[in-house]
Amino acid sequence: MPLRSVFARPTFARPAFARRRFGALLAAGATLLPLALATPAPATPATPTATGLRQVRSEPSYAATLTPELVAELQRLRVPGGVIAVSTPGSGTWIKALGTSDLATGRPMDPADHFRVGSITKTFTATVILQLVQEHLLTLDDKVSRFRHDVPDGPNMTVRQLLNMTSGLYNYSEDLGINRVLDQAPQTRWTPDQLLRIAFRHRSYFDPGRGFHYSNTNYVLLGLIIEQLTHHPLAYEFQQRITRPLGMDGTGMPNGTELPRPYSHGYLAVSNVASLTAPMLTGKDAAWADWSAGVPDDVTTASPSWTWAAGEAYSDVHDMLCWAPALAEGTMLSPELQRERLTFVRTSPNGPGYGLGIVDFLGFLGHDGQIPGYNSFEAYDPALKATVVVLLDLNQSPDGSAPADKVAMLIFQQLFHLPTHP
């Protein structure tokens, strides 16, 4: 099944961003999973943090209304828990931990918890590529065959087309074989070359530049280009070029499957193979699937190596609050390269634009991520100077929707009055 829309509403119709959407009808009669609420952390004085954000002394006026709506949405979507943050010039930065981070022990979610952030990793990969363009080590119009001779139609494909998902290359994470391995042997370590061999066994979706199809294959290639040009591991380049300069100490690439402590466990409701063909449900079908779902599987220690430069990174809410404005404003790039980054192609007739590793969500610029166990969203509106971050410990709801995107949409509607229809 190709990557499909994670927002079921026309305004937000777009591709799922760590891999493809999950969705399933779970067996009827399963027990209802309650959402346990974490006790909010005590209010902190309004002092600058490591990321330069102002933590509010008390909850903003909208919190009393928004919090129960967020709780209800997480319960409906069967999400055990998450950390949600909103930052605006008038109200400061509000961070809310809701629900449970470990269903086995009942440990409540902690605002300091680390999460896998899936395809938000692509924003790091794209940023490093653009920095290398800035350093004249390559150009956006360089042919992919300059870097690898085995890429199908590589002499006619550009680096820009890898970045904006118009290369046409098959998305290896849609391959049935790799999904069987992810289900049966989740600890399997994958190399970038193994992932590319899977992709190159399949025909491309279209000729380069002739369409849009979200493909992790593009970003695995971009990661290899980074390592080829810098002679350093990708994780090192992320650290030296992005996370260390911005003080993002809670962000990185894992060594194996371990996440830094504290971390949230991650949960999966549907097998990887089943997710390839499961429909996205709406109306009564969606409500029944969500209501009747059982306890999801803990996949915290599954290897994320199959995503690498496309989705292997971890982070926390504080770093995402720092990264979202830096990404959208072009802090790490020249104005010229940021303009290139914000040149968007349409993902679908009613969908948003996809730029060079960045998405336009009704003026909020950022990305989301989906990887087994986790769903994430980060975006910043340069006009409003507002940031929204959602980090959840379930990658896909039983009805097939991406819960972080649903929660972000709720915040957009309630706080920023963004329309639900074009």
Q: What CATH number did the domain enclosing 164 receive?
A: 3.40.710.10
Per-residue pLDDT for 339 more than 90?
yes
Q: What is the domain extent for residue 224?
A: 10-25+34-377+391-416
Q: Is the pLDDT score of 21 beyond 80?
A: no
Give the DSSP H or E segment for 395.
Answer: none
- Measure the CA–CA gap between 312 and 328, rounded to whole angstroms: 21
Task: Answer whether residue 48 shows pLDDT above 50.
Answer: no
Residue 362 φ/ψ region, left for φ over 0, alpha for ψ in the -120 to 50 degree band, beta for the rest: left
Q: Is 378 helix (H, G, I), strand (E, B) or coil?
A: strand
Q: Assess whether pLDDT exceeds 80 at residue 40.
A: no
Q: Using an 8 Å Cβ cutoff, are 54 and 48 in contact? A: yes
382 is a domain residue: no
- The first and second tokens of residue 284, run together, are 């009564």
Does residue 44 carry a pLDDT above 60? no
Q: What is the pLDDT of residue 352?
A: 82
3 lies in a domain?
Answer: no
By percentage, how much of the chain surpasses pLDDT 90? 74
Q: How confident is the model at residue 27 (pLDDT cuts 50, 70, 90)?
A: very low
Q: Can the peptide bond before residue 254 be classed as cis, meaning omega within 30 degrees of 0?
A: no
Residue 5 counted as domain residue? no
| DSSP 8-state code for residue 215 | -
Comparing 32-36, 253-257, 279-283, which segment has the lowest mean pLDDT? 32-36
pLDDT at 49 over 70: no
Domain for residue 149, yes or no?
yes
Predicted local confidence at residue 167, as pLDDT: 98
At residue 275, the pLDDT reads 80
Q: State the pLDDT at residue 57.
A: 53
Whole-prediction pTM: 0.87
- Calpha distance 334→393 (Å, rounded): 35
Total number of domains in the chain: 1
In a domain, 385, yes or no: no
In a domain, 199, yes or no: yes
- Residue 304 resides in a domain: yes
Residue 208 has pLDDT above 80, yes or no: yes
- Overall average pLDDT of the 243-272 stretch: 94
* Mean pLDDT, the chain, whole residue set: 86
pLDDT score at 356: 98
pLDDT band of residue 291 (cuts 50, 70, 90) is: confident
pLDDT band at residue 420, thresholds of 50, 70 and 90? low
Please state, for a pLDDT cut of 70, what percent of the chain lies above it: 86
Does 2 map to a domain?
A: no
CA 59 to CA 95: how far, in whole Å? 9
Model confidence band, residue 294 (pLDDT cutoffs 50, 70, 90) = confident
- pLDDT of 15 > 80? The answer is no
